[in-house]
Chain A
Amino acid sequence: MKVILDSEQIEQILQDLTTQITSDTPPLLDIAVIGIRSRGEVIAQRLSSRLSRELGKDVPCGTLDITLYRDDLNSPQGNHQPRVRTTEIGFDIDDKIIILVDDVLHTGRSTRAAMDALIDLGRPKAIKLAVLVDRGGRELPIQADYAGYKSDAAPGELVQVSLMESDGEEQVVIE
């Protein structure tokens, strides 16, 4: 097990992501943050409060459950059974720039599922992808617009993000 990010580095990355997103966002457009359950949800909440502060306006935050859109639901290899949870997005996503947030970008399959799920909720102006860690290994043509940290984890390795709100500690490890 190797620690690749500690709490200070995570803090710095979130600040960098906030700065990048802020400088990219035209001031007149509405922006909202939506996190993919479950670690993406926590990062999205942190980003939304930082962005609200930075932009001086309320940046709403929602949570997306992508279970119903996964591509391995009916494949016998998908051995674990995903648990359906709720999507909680208390605002209209139409015509907003949506910052879609996940903890780790790997195959790109979760992102694909999340985009399909979002489109069923409305028609955003744009969807942009922000992740804490990009570990490579894509299986779909998907890239992050904002990647906090690029890691070169080997295919069999696991990049695990722990956050205070969900795990009681703050670090990213490869094991």
Chain B
Amino acid sequence: MASKRKNRLFKWHRKHLLGLRELSAEEITYILDTAKGFEQVSTRSVKKAPPLRGKVVVNLFFEDSTRTRNSFALAANRLSADIIEFTKKTSSVSKGETLLDTARNLEAMGIDIVVVRHNAGGASRLLSRNINACVVNAGDGFCEHPTQGLLDVYTIRKIKGTLNGLKIAIVGDIAHSRVARSDMWAMTKLGAEVTFVGPPTLMPTQVGRLPVKVSYDLDEVIDKVDVINMLRIQFERLGGNPFPSIREYSHYFGLTVERMKRAKSDILVMHPGPINRGLEMESEVADGQNSVILEQVTNGLAVRMAVLFLVNQAAAHTSR
């Protein structure tokens, strides 16, 4: 009946956000556009809106986290959801309860969204197949950390306008980094060219199959990129000795004031946190003009609000 106005027909239909690999560029852009509408909730007098009123979100974290966990909790609060905090250390997991049993028991209490971080790759996918609640991956093993990938591209898009045609370096411990993987999927889908930079011992074994360039020399890359994302060395996951000494690593792969002199003047310096100052990045660079590290954290809140909102919408409108 209605003469069709130029309504965009795109509809978000995923009740889980498990990774960015499976998302289309259109879906990623839709999340970023939605996040834009959530930014102002945090800047006004009442920092709360009602769309998740009466919903329960569980933060199910089997690994430590500062940023992601608090960011999801605050995002849920700002959408008026109730939040349950679950930590491995203080729960019955220490008595031998499995991931699925833990989740099913929480679900029996009537929860709507599970935000899960786990050291095993695929944990969130396993959960999504076995419970009815929405599942949002907050980091699984070395696989994905989708909301970090989203907030990284959100931050870049906000400042640079677009990802299309940008050259981006991701530097450091690529092998153990789920951030590098989620970043890679989001950035390349939106049209950026991504280069992984680091010592061969910290590259994923099958890196040739990924849609990225690879470089073992930061000095060869530093003057060509528009964005540089520095990763932390994940000492807690390292086996053996991937490099001779911390000093040597910093010398070759650290982002120093000296190296920054060769970079483009408008390069964006990013870091997913936590930073090991003086190791992958000198303090002057982390706190310098080109650094958008704290903007990333601020934007992360809007992005997570958008994700919680969208998965809940999908569950409300498309379920059986």
Contacts and interface: CB of A to CB of B under 8 A. Distances in A.
Contacts of B50: 68-69, 116
Nearest to A88: B40
Interface string B289-310: 0000000000000000010010
Contacts of A160: 2-3
Interface stretch (B31-39, B191-199, B239-247, B250-258): B31-39
Nearest to B53: A74
A85 B34 CA distance: 7
Contact of B34 (A74, A79, A84): A84
B48 interface: yes
A2 interface: no
Contacts of B313: 73, 81
Nearest to A69: B50
B2 A86 contact: no
B44 A121 contact: yes
Contact of A175 (B1, B45, B49, B55): B1
Contact of A78 (B8, B49, B51, B317): B317
Interface string A49-83: 00000000000000001011100011110110101
Interface in B1-56: 1-3, 5, 8, 11-12, 33-34, 36-41, 44-46, 48-51, 54-55
Contact of A74 (B8, B45, B316): B316
A76 B319 CA distance: 9
Contacts of B38: 84
A23 B312 CA distance: 46
A67 B306 CA distance: 12
A120 B3 contact: no
Interface string A85-125: 11100000000000000000000000000001101111000
Contacts of A175: 1-3
A120 B48 contact: yes
Interface residues of B, number: 31
Interface centre among A76, A84, A119 (most CB of B within 10 A): A84
Interface string A136-153: 000000000000000000
Given A74-B316, A158-B2, A85 B37 contact: yes
A167 interface: yes
Given A81-B11, A120-B45, A167 B316 contact: no
Contacts of B36: 85-86
A86 B44 CA distance: 13
A84 B313 CA distance: 11
Nearest to B6: A167
Given A120-B48, A120-B49, A175-B1, A84 B37 contact: yes
A87 B36 CA distance: 10
B216 to A, nearest CB: 43
A117 B49 CA distance: 8
Contacts of B44: 120-121
B34 A83 contact: yes
Contacts of B3: 160, 175
B45 A122 contact: yes
A155 to B, nearest CB: 14
A84 B1 contact: no
A74 B309 contact: no
A81 B14 CA distance: 12
Given A83-B34, A84-B34, A68 B51 contact: yes
A76 to B, nearest CB: 6
Contacts of A167: 5
Contacts of A158: 1-2
A121 B46 contact: yes
Contacts of B306: 84
A68 B49 contact: yes
A83 B12 CA distance: 10
Contacts of B2: 158, 160, 175
Contacts of B11: 81
Given A84-B306, A87-B40, A175-B3, 11 more contacts: A65-B37, A69-B50, A74-B51, A74-B312, A74-B316, A78-B316, A81-B11, A86-B39, A120-B48, A167-B5, A175-B2
7 contacts: A68-B49, A69-B49, A74-B51, A74-B312, A81-B317, A122-B45, A160-B3
